Every structure is written in C-alpha cells, then in structure tokens.
Structure 1
C-alpha cells in the first residue's frame, strides 16, 4: 500500500478544519467549565477558558431542585422519543408506498407534497387546526406536529428506490404481503437512512421552542427549551432557580447568573448530544452487500 504523501494543501485543510472545530469546542467547554466552577471563582473565568476554577455542582443542584425543570425535561424527552418514532414509521411507510411502481396517482401526490413543502401554512392556520383537534396545552400537539417532513420523505424515497426489485420479488414469491416485506426487508435495509433521518427529527423536536410556547400554555406541559429561553434570553431567573435552602446549606450567599445559565444550557444539551455516539456506532458501509447473490 502506497504511503500517504504530505502536501501543503492537506496541511492548510487540516488547519482550517481544526480552527472550525475549535470555534465549536471552546464555547461548549467554557459553558461546562463555568457551570462546574466554584461560585466564588466564576468571575475569574474568561471566554476562552475550558477548565473550571475549583469544582462545585451547586449550579446543577439549584436548577434541578426546581420540580418545573424536572417536569419540563420529562416532557421534552417524551415529545422527542414518541414523536421521532412516529415520524420515522410514517416517513418510511409513506416512502415505501410512493416508491411502488404500480401506484395510481403518484405524480399528483408528489406535486401536492412538494407544494406543501414550499408553501408552509402560517402559525394562525396551524393554531386553529390544533384548537379544532382539542390538542391545545397537550403534549400530543407537539408529538403529532409535523410528523412527516417532506424533505426527509424524499430522501427516504431515493434510498428505497435503490433496493433491488429481486429482493421484493423474492418476498412475493414466498407469499409475503406488503407489510411483511416492509418490516422484514425494507426496514432492516433502511437502517442507515433511518438513523440519519431519525437524528434530524430528534434534534428538530428537542430544540423546538416557538411552537411549544404557543401550543403548550401551562407550566405542567411546558418543555425544557421554553424554560431555557425564559432564563437565558428573557433573564427570568425566578423560573429555574429551585430551593434556596441549598445555598444556605452550602454557605453561599448568591450564585452567579451566568453560571446558572451555563448549567441550564448544559442540561439541555446532554440528552441530544448522547445521540451522536449511539448513531455513529451503527454507521456501516455496504448495507446492501450480500442482499442478492447474482
């Protein structure tokens, strides 16, 4: 095997990519460092520091001691988990139907889907639909909201079109129906696009705060991103700060608001960041390899 040659262009590309990575890595590490620093030393941290000054979990304890935060975290996890599963199922099964060669009216259906993808309804129309369905202030409003993304549907269709017809024909010869072929042939072969699109769906649902703030009005049904916006953007510190007794027990007069914000942001980031190593673990090449032996 020929050795890789070092070139100036590779060096420049490496420097540029490293610089781009640092612009994302340093701010995240700075937030973590600020949230873990001793309350008396938070002011010593600069914007480029990635190591905490001292160590304390008081910021996380104060934020998580508020029952509203725990409830909002549960609501966000519920909406993201159930909503992503429903989105993946309906996106995949719709793509399977639309890629059948004998489907009647495929062209008008695709035109309709592309039109609604380009011309999205306004917030007033969406609000009235949710109201008519009696889903206002219900978590199911956000679970069912935009269950199918047309762009992801087209991506899934492009993948399913590459599945060899001989696999499906072999299933038909064995007496399998469409649902059997969908679950036992299509779904296993669609593992990579399912993981990729599932990650996109999960991130979109986890980070959604605008529609959540409109459709979910009560504190019991609020989500973490809405609380995060109230605290970080609107500076509503009374919303997230929990038991004040924690400060007295730890002999702390007052916490730094920026450290509390950092702890809240880290709490909101951790669940969605855990998706990446799980998904990357199952990224494999040659999923179709070995499916057919000619």
Structure 2
C-alpha cells in the first residue's frame, strides 16, 4: 500500500466516523432506559440500560403516524413521477432530429440557474388549488434540470446502432424507450431515483409553507417543531398514557433522539437497496469471457 492510498483511506475513515458516531449515539440515547439517559456523556455509543419506551411513545402517537404516512406517500409517488418524466424528457431531448433542441436546452439551463422565488411558487399552488394538499409536494419540481442533464448524458452513450436496428424492425419511439433505453439506463435511473427520494423525504421548507393542517403535515415539519422549537404538544397525548407508570419517566432528549431516528431510518434503508442493484448493474456492463 502506497502512502497516498493510506492517507486517502485515513481521511475517508475520519469523515465516515464524523457521520457514523452521531448516528449511533442517537440510537443509543433513544434505546436507553428513561431513568438512566442522564448518565450518557458526550458521544457514548452504548445505551444506558435498555428500553423501547421512547419509540413506543413516538410511534403510538396518531399525529406522528399520519405524518410518516404522508412523507412516504410524497416520497414514493413523487419519486416515481419524477423518474418517469425525467427519463422520458431526456429521451426526447437526446433525439438528433429534434426541432428546436438548442433553444429548449438554453431555456432549461436558465430555469435551473434562475429559480423562481417562493412567492410565485405559492401563487401558482394557490391558483391550482393545491394548497394544503399532499399533491402540492408530489408535483412540486417534478423534474430537476440537473438530474435531467445527467440522464441525457447517459442516454447519449447508448449506441445509435441499437436504436437504428430497432427502427428497422418496426419499433416506435415508445417501444424503443421501454425495451432498449430503460434497460440500458439502470444505473442512472437508480442514481437520480435516489437523489429524488432523498430530496423529497428531507423537504421541510416548502412543506411548511404549502401544507398547513395537522392532517397533511409531514414528518420533517413535525420533527422540526419538536426537536428545534421544543414544541412537545404533538406528543402530550401519547405521553399522558404513560403518566401513571413510575418507570416511564420520559427523558425528552431521548424522545427527541427517537423522533430523529424514526425520521432517519426509512431513508437510510434506501441506500443498501440501491447499492445492491447499482453494483449488479455495473457488473452486468463488464466484459465477460
């Protein structure tokens, strides 16, 4: 092993620890016994005692459950729509005989650089009667121009001979798109899909503006109210169920940690799944003997 590889590995290991240790600390604090949470110091990685009571309080709350379902709906449906419209737009924009391709690309790049402000976006949602509707966040920024350009670069690498052979066999654009382009674009599909999913799951600012009622709130908005603003009213009803239990003297720092873990785990589970198919997709493109 060379010195340069050792230094790169050392730097990457340090960066990994700066991300890994706080996450493990959150799990340890959330899983600690309520009466022993105060014994945790700094970045302890092991829980003090063991109890699921903090997760029980968070997950038994109807508001948290509703917010979690809303976030899942926005992320899943929104990501599927984004992938579909991004890929089909990329296919159209990579056709060599497309009329007006250059002006279209110039407009898209301008839209990417000069994003509209929150006031125009709010007025559009109001005119479409989508305020306080989950569809406002599902349809919001369905296509990201940067991800569209990434998809276009991958599609441009597909050999023209495959497309021409399909046309000779009588295949139309939709059949070429479904049978040839999509199967050869697994890696970019997974890549932009992960980007879209993470962005939609973590979206807080626009959700707090477009969604106003408790029934339509999302997990990130609820998380900020509890963790940042120290607004515990959303969890009072669940905590009151345990008020007669002398063992369950809830520690709110551990309750915050449990809430963060609940908001973090679904998106963390996405990475190993994507990595599995991403790796298999890379190997499929390798040279076989």
Band of TM-score, shorter chain = over 0.9
Q: Give, in angstroms, the shift of residue 88 of structure 1.
A: 0.3
Q: Please tell me the root mean square deviation across aligned C-alpha atoms, in Å.
A: 1.4
Tell me what 1:259 maps to: 254
Secondary structure in 2 aligned to 1:40?
coil
| Residues 115-126 of structure 1 mapped to structure 2, 5 A cutoff | 115-126=110-121
Return 5+ residue gaps in structure 1 as ranges: 1-5
CA distance, structure 2, for counterparts of residue 148 and residue 240 of structure 1: 36
**Does the 8 Å contact 1:189/1:287 carry over to 2?**
no
Tell me what 1:247 maps to: 242
1:230 pairs, out of 214, 225, 242, with 225
Tell me what 1:148 maps to: 143
Tell me what 2:155 maps to: 160
**Does the 8 Å contact 2:34/2:248 carry over to 1?**
no
TM-score, length-scaled by structure 2: 0.95
CA distance, structure 2, for counterparts of residue 69 and residue 199 of structure 1: 24
Q: Give, in angstroms, the shift of residue 145 of structure 1.
A: 0.2
Tell me what 1:216 maps to: 211
**Does the 8 Å contact 1:60/1:263 carry over to 2?**
yes
Q: Give, in angstroms, the shift of residue 226 of structure 1.
A: 0.2
Q: Give, in angstroms, the shift of residue 130 of structure 1.
A: 0.3
Q: Give, in angstroms, the shift of residue 87 of structure 1.
A: 0.2
Higher alpha-carbon deviation: 243-252 or 199-208:
243-252
Tell me what 1:48 maps to: 43
Tell me what 1:16 maps to: 11
CA distance, structure 1, for counterparts of residue 203 and residue 129 of structure 2: 21
CA distance, structure 2, for counterparts of residue 20 and residue 289 of structure 1: 31
**Does the 8 Å contact 1:32/1:266 carry over to 2?**
yes
Tell me what 1:93 maps to: 88
Secondary structure in 2 aligned to 1:103?
coil
**Does the 8 Å contact 1:227/1:240 carry over to 2?**
no
Higher alpha-carbon deviation: 63-72 or 238-247:
238-247
**Does the 8 Å contact 2:35/2:249 carry over to 1?**
no
TM-score, length-scaled by structure 1: 0.94
Higher alpha-carbon deviation: 94-103 or 167-176:
167-176
**Does the 8 Å contact 1:65/1:242 carry over to 2?**
no
User: Deviation string for 1:31-82 (max 9, x for gaps)?
Assistant: 0000000001101112221110110011011111210100000000000000
Tell me what 1:110 maps to: 105
**Does the 8 Å contact 2:53/2:248 carry over to 1?**
no
**Does the 8 Å contact 2:91/2:155 carry over to 1?**
yes
Tell me what 1:285 maps to: 282
Change (3 A) 1:114 1:267: same
> Displaced runs of 4+ in structure 1, greater than 6 A?
none
Secondary structure in 2 aligned to 1:39?
coil
Tell me what 2:79 maps to: 84
CA distance, structure 1, for counterparts of residue 203 and residue 250 of structure 2: 29
Secondary structure in 1 aligned to 2:216?
coil
CA distance, structure 2, for counterparts of residue 287 and residue 122 of structure 1: 43
Q: Give, in angstroms, the shift of residue 287 of structure 1.
A: 4.8
**Does the 8 Å contact 1:231/1:261 carry over to 2?**
yes
User: Deviation string for 1:180-222 (max 9, x for gaps)?
Assistant: 1111111111110000100000000000011001000110000
- State the number of aligned residues: 285
